């Protein structure tokens, strides 16, 4: 694609980066076929190619964002299916990240939208605040129907619908400290305990610690780590995202210096995509560029890490039929497609893949709150495809997908690590009825 940026514009490294990306696009439109918003809405402006044109026009003309571009960029899920499909290697992720930051800086959203976004940025990345908000959600639940009738309050209704009715106790295990591996030491890793996942399902990290330590891997939970920054990053709040990234880079750098790390283990693929991008996000910060690149190189999804170590024979071969849902951040963001399915099969599960596996379930960070209608359409389509597999359980590696799919599916939805842990001697995953698993044993 031809571009017409001035030399002065290209002096801004963010613009220069976007210009490089834009020039790679050959307008072929292959990406439209796999874009969930184009497939759902049928509007070229809600396709990757359409958004690329809108972003190019805004940046090239040095214009503040307007309602039209905000509408179409807001509808983008950042699922990155377009990047998997694109034959020219267009880095849509970095382009849309730049566009979102530009929108945040130059566009004044209507008051209800500003308040919703400010609330999400204030609450979700902080486990204490998020836990308190979930407790309060019970008070608002009776008013969901009313909120849904008022356009400005639809995101509140979506939040209340997604909020679980019971909140698990905070983990007593995933606290700062070192968990030694059992038997012969096979490695030393840090684990991201993160934010929303540690409140919605603390057992995911507890199970990861339990399985890895049984396998002889020492786990460090470093003091000071927290939200990866993805939630605010996708809202264009660049400074807040970079502050989270710096804080985590500091925490993991201390762990590296205190005893070395073979990997930084991430159990939510949405976080993994962002942490693997820290090197890029902090490339212009001389104090952090090198450290951030080192952290990104060490970041590994739990299934990616497990695939690199020799696993023993499973304790039980469940034979349970599992529908594996590959989160967009797993398959498109991190290109991890093989390992989770191979690990499940090796552990004795029968793995089935739903049709249209490339399409997003509509979760996408805060998307299911900010764009509830499109999100619900994608969720229902996903659930239909999953249920058509005839599986007994759904396995996936991202808490956002677990919450989203479980809100409409009849079958249990669990994190992949819980099924693996069970096969390798851990307890049965909660939420899975005993009869199903006992029958399968």
Residues that bind ligand SF4 (CB under 6 A): 25-31, 35-37, 48-49, 51-52, 76-82, 85-86, 88, 90, 92
Smallest gap from Cβ 404 to ligand SF4, in A, equals 15
In the complex with ligand SF4, the residue whose CB is nearer, 32 or 403, is 32
Dist CA 196 CA 268 (whole Å): 10
Nearer to ligand SF4, 82 or 292 (CB): 82
Query: With respect to ligand SF4, which residue has the nearer C-beta, 336 or 393?
Result: 336
Q: What is the CA radius of gyration of the chain?
A: 21
* Residue 342 contacts residue 411 (beta carbons within 8 Å): no
Question: b/e string for 1-31 if b means 16 or more Cβ within 10 A?
Answer: bebebeeebeeeeebebbbebbeebeeeeeb
Q: Please, which residue, 32 or 116, has the CB nearer to ligand SF4?
A: 32
Tell me the C-alpha distance between 79 and 362, whole Å.
9
3-state helix, strand, coil in the chain (%, to 5): 55, 10, 35
Closest approach, Cβ 121 to ligand SF4, in A, equals 21
Longest dimension (CA), the chain: 68
Closer to ligand SF4 by Cβ: residue 49 or 246: 49
The b-or-e profile of 189-212 (16+ CB within 10 A means b, else e) is bbbbbbbbbbbbbbbbbbbbbbbb
Cα–Cα nearest to 171, from 135, 127, 216: 127
Nearer to ligand SF4, 11 or 28 (CB): 28
Rounded to 5 degrees, what are φ and ψ at 235?
A: -100, 5
Which runs of consecutive H residues, i.e. helices, occur in 388-429? Answer: 399-406, 416-423
Residue 194 CB, shortest distance to ligand SF4, in Å, is 22
Among residues 31 and 370, whose Cβ is nearest to ligand SF4? 31
Q: Contact at 8 Å (CB) between 232 and 244?
A: yes
What letter would DSSP give residue 32?
G
User: Minimum distance between the CB of residue 360 and ligand SF4, rounded to whole angstroms?
Assistant: 7
- Please report how close the Cβ of residue 200 comes to ligand SF4 at its closest, in angstroms: 24
d(CA 269, CA 206): 17
Cβ distance to ligand SF4 smaller for residue 36 or 429? 36
Residue closer to ligand SF4 (CB basis): 324 or 367: 367
Q: How many C-beta atoms lie closer than 10 Å to residue 186's C-beta?
A: 15
Q: 303: burial class by Cβ within 10 Å (0-12, 13-18, 19+)?
A: buried
Nearer to ligand SF4, 29 or 138 (CB): 29
- Tell the smallest beta-carbon distance from residue 37 to ligand SF4 (Å): 5
Q: Which is nearer to ligand SF4, 380 or 441 (CB)?
A: 380
Supply the DSSP string of 105-167, one letter for each residue: HH----HHHHHHHHHHHHHTT-HHHHHHHHHHHHHHGGGHHHHHHSGGGHHHHHHHHHS-SS-
Chain mean position to CA 31: 21
**Shortest distance in whole angstroms from residue 39 CB to ligand SF4:** 9
In a 3-state reduction of DSSP, which class is residue 274?
A: helix
């Amino acid at each position: 694609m031809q571009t017409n940026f001035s030399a002065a514009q290209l002096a801004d490294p963010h613009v220069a980066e976007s210009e490089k990306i834009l020039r790679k696009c050959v307008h072929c439109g292959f990406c439209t076929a796999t874009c969930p918003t184009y497939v759902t809405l049928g509007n070229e402006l809600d396709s990757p190619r359409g958004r690329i044109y809108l972003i190019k026009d805004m940046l090239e003309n040095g214009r503040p964002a307007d309602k039209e571009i905000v509408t179409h960029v807001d509808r983008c899920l950042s699922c990155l299916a377009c990047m998997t499909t694109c034959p020219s290697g267009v880095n849509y992720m970095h382009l849309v990240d730049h566009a979102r930051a530009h929108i945040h800086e130059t566009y004044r959203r209507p008051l209800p939208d500003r308040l919703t976004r400010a609330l999400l940025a204030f609450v979700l990345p902080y486990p204490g605040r998020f836990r308190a908000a979930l407790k309060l959600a019970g008070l608002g639940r009776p008013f969901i129907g009313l909120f849904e009738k008022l356009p400005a309050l639809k995101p509140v209704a979506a939040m209340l619908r997604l909020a679980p009715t019971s909140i698990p106790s905070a983990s007593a295990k995933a606290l700062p400290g070192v968990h030694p591996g059992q038997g012969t030491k096979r490695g030393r890793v840090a684990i991201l305990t993160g934010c929303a996942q540690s409140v919605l399902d603390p057992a995911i990290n507890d199970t990861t610690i339990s399985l890895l330590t049984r396998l002889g891997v020492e786990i460090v939970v470093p003091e000071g780590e927290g939200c990866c920054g993805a939630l605010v990053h996708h809202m264009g709040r660049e400074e807040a995202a970079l502050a989270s990234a710096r804080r985590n880079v500091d925490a993991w750098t201390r762990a590296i210096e205190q005893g070395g790390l073979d990997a930084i283990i991430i159990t939510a693929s949405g976080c993994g995509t962002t942490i693997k991008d820290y090197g890029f996000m902090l490339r212009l910060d001389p104090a952090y560029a090198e450290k951030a690149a080192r952290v990104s190189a060490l970041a590994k999804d739990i299934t990616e890490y497990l695939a690199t170590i020799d696993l023993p024979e499973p304790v039980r071969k469940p034979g349970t039929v599992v529908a594996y849902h590959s989160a967009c951040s797993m398959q498109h963001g991190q290109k991890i497609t093989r390992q989770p399915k191979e690990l499940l099969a090796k552990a004795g599960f029968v793995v089935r893949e739903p049709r249209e596996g490339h399409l997003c379930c509509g979760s996408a960070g805060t998307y299911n709150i900010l764009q509830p209608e499109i999100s619900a359409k994608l969720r229902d389509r996903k659930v239909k495809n999953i249920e058509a597999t005839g599986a007994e359980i759904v396995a996936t590696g991202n808490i956002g997908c677990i919450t989203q799919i479980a809100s409409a599916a009849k079958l249990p939805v669990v994190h992949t690590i819980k099924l693996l842990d069970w096969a390798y001697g851990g307890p049965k995953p909660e939420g899975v009825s005993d009869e199903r698993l006992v029958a399968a044993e």
